[in-house]
Amino acid sequence: MTGRTILLVEDNPDDEALTLRAFDKSNIHNKVIVKRDGAEALAYLFPGDGDGDGNGNGNDDAPYPALILLDLNLPKVGGLEVLRRMRADERTQMIPVVVLTSSKLEEDVLVSYRNGANAYVRKPVKFSEFTEAVKALGVFWLLLNEPVPSVAPKLGLR
């Protein structure tokens, strides 16, 4: 189970620290890759596509993440754009994406679902609720939920 990685796309270092700790405390010890803006996330998901060096970023053997936690308000490339590009590419089309954000604007929720988000969670301010939310997400998407059956595509393969 620990072989399945989580991709956390989050630019706020505090939210990153608290999310990582929450996973740890919930005994979810899957590898967590952190990308701090949308461009970094895209370069990770589509190596060779974004940074132009064509070397695949050395991620060629890394499996696609089993779960992506995506903030909306990100530097460079926004979360929605990341989501849109993921859904447009068959390699990343079906990876569960949970939008994890501060916004509770109806339009943000709506446009996230419209672009193929699997869930939308507003980051709770209260520490215990935040920890519970991260734990619940990990447990549901990594343990309970049956992943898309596939031949485990690898990053960098076309």
| Interface contacts to other proteins, rule CB under 8 A | 12, 14-15, 17-18, 21, 25, 102-103, 123-128, 130-131
Please report how close the Cβ of residue 133 comes to other proteins at its closest, in angstroms. 11
Determine how many CB atoms are found less than 10 A away from the CB of residue 153: 14
Q: 78 or 156, CB closer to other proteins?
A: 78
DSSP 8-state class, residue 67:
E
Question: In whole angstroms, what is the distance from residue 68 CA to residue 9 CA?
Answer: 7
Please report how close the Cβ of residue 56 comes to other proteins at its closest, in angstroms. 34
Please report how close the Cβ of residue 9 comes to other proteins at its closest, in angstroms. 15
Please report how close the Cβ of residue 108 comes to other proteins at its closest, in angstroms. 11
Helices marked H in the chain — which ranges? 13-25, 38-45, 79-88, 106-114, 127-138
Q: 5 or 112, CB closer to other proteins?
A: 112
DSSP 8-state class, residue 96:
-
Phi, psi of 10 (to 5 degrees): -155, 125
Structure tokens at 12: 């706020």
Instruction: Determine how β-strand 97-101 pairs with β-strand 32-35.
Output: unpaired
Q: 18 or 139, CB closer to other proteins?
A: 18
Please report how close the Cβ of residue 103 comes to other proteins at its closest, in angstroms. 7
Q: 59 or 131, CB closer to other proteins?
A: 131
Structure tokens at 39: 């461009």
Q: 113 or 127, CB closer to other proteins?
A: 127
